[in-house]
Amino acid sequence: MSKPLLSLENIYVDFERDGVISQVLDNVSLSVHKGEFLSIIGHSGCGKSTLLNVVAGLVPVTLGAALLDNKEIKGPGPERAVVFQNHSLLPWMTVYENVRLAVAKLYGAKENLKQLHDRTLHNLELVKMTHAKDKRPGEISGGMKQRVGIARALAMEPKVLLLDEPFGALDALTRAHLQDTVMELHERIRSTVLMITHDVDEAVLLADRVVMMTNGPKARIGQIVDVKTPRPRDRRVVMQDMQFVECRRRIVSFLEAHDHAPVPLTEPA
Ligand SMILES: Nc1ncnc2c1ncn2[C@@H]1O[C@H](COP(=O)(O)OP(=O)(O)OP(=O)(O)O)[C@@H](O)[C@H]1O
Residue 268 banded pLDDT, cuts 50, 70, 90: very low
Looking at residue 269, what is its pLDDT? 35
Looking at residue 169, what is its pLDDT? 81
CB within 8 A of 216, min separation 6: which ones?
A: 24, 45, 46, 47
Is there a domain that residue 36 lies in?
A: yes
Is there a domain that residue 217 lies in?
A: yes
Looking at residue 260, what is its pLDDT? 67
Looking at residue 48, what is its pLDDT? 96
Does residue 43 have its Cβ closer than 6 Å to ligand 1? no
Looking at residue 203, what is its pLDDT? 97
Looking at residue 174, what is its pLDDT? 86
Q: Give the distance (Å) from ligand 1 centre to CA of residue 173.
A: 29
Is there a domain that residue 202 lies in?
A: yes
Is there a domain that residue 149 lies in?
A: no
Is there a domain that residue 113 lies in?
A: no
| Average pLDDT along the chain | 92
Does residue 60 have its Cβ closer than 6 Å to ligand 1? no
Is there a domain that residue 234 lies in?
A: yes
Looking at residue 265, what is its pLDDT? 42
Residue 86 banded pLDDT, cuts 50, 70, 90: confident
Q: What is the pLDDT of residues 122-147, one digit of tens each?
A: 999 988 899 999 999 999 999 999 99
Is there a domain that residue 28 lies in?
A: yes
Mean pLDDT value across residues 108-133: 94
Q: Give the distance (Å) from ligand 1 centre to CA of residue 16.
A: 12
Mean pLDDT value across residues 113-125: 95
What is the atom index within ligand 1 of the atom nearest the CA of 46?
21
In this structure, the residue with its CA closest to atom 23 of ligand 1 is 45
Our count of domains for the chain comes to 1
Backbone phi and psi for residue 248, each to the nearest 5 degrees, phi listed first: -60, -45
Is the confidence at residue 263, as pLDDT, over 70?
A: no
Q: What CATH number should be reported for the domain holding residue 240?
A: 3.40.50.300
Q: Going by DSSP bridges, is the β-strand pair 209-213/37-41 parallel, antiparallel, or unpaired?
A: parallel
Nearest to 182, CA basis, from 199, 194, 172: 194
Mean pLDDT value across residues 79-97: 91
Is the confidence at residue 247, as pLDDT, over 50?
A: yes
Looking at residue 87, what is its pLDDT? 73
Q: What is the pLDDT of residues 158-188, one digit of tens each?
A: 999 999 999 888 888 888 988 999 998 898 8
Does residue 24 have its Cβ closer than 6 Å to ligand 1? yes
Is the confidence at residue 61, as pLDDT, over 50?
A: yes
Mean pLDDT value across residues 229-242: 92
Does residue 110 have its Cβ closer than 6 Å to ligand 1? no
Is there a domain that residue 127 lies in?
A: no
Burial 114-123 (b: 16+ CB within 10 A, else e): eebeebbbeb
Prediction pTM value: 0.92
Looking at residue 1, what is its pLDDT? 66
Of 30-44, 57-71, 201-215, 246-260, the range with the lowest mean pLDDT is 246-260
Find the domain containing 58 and state its range: 1-75+192-260
Looking at residue 261, what is its pLDDT? 47
Is the confidence at residue 240, as pLDDT, over 80?
A: yes
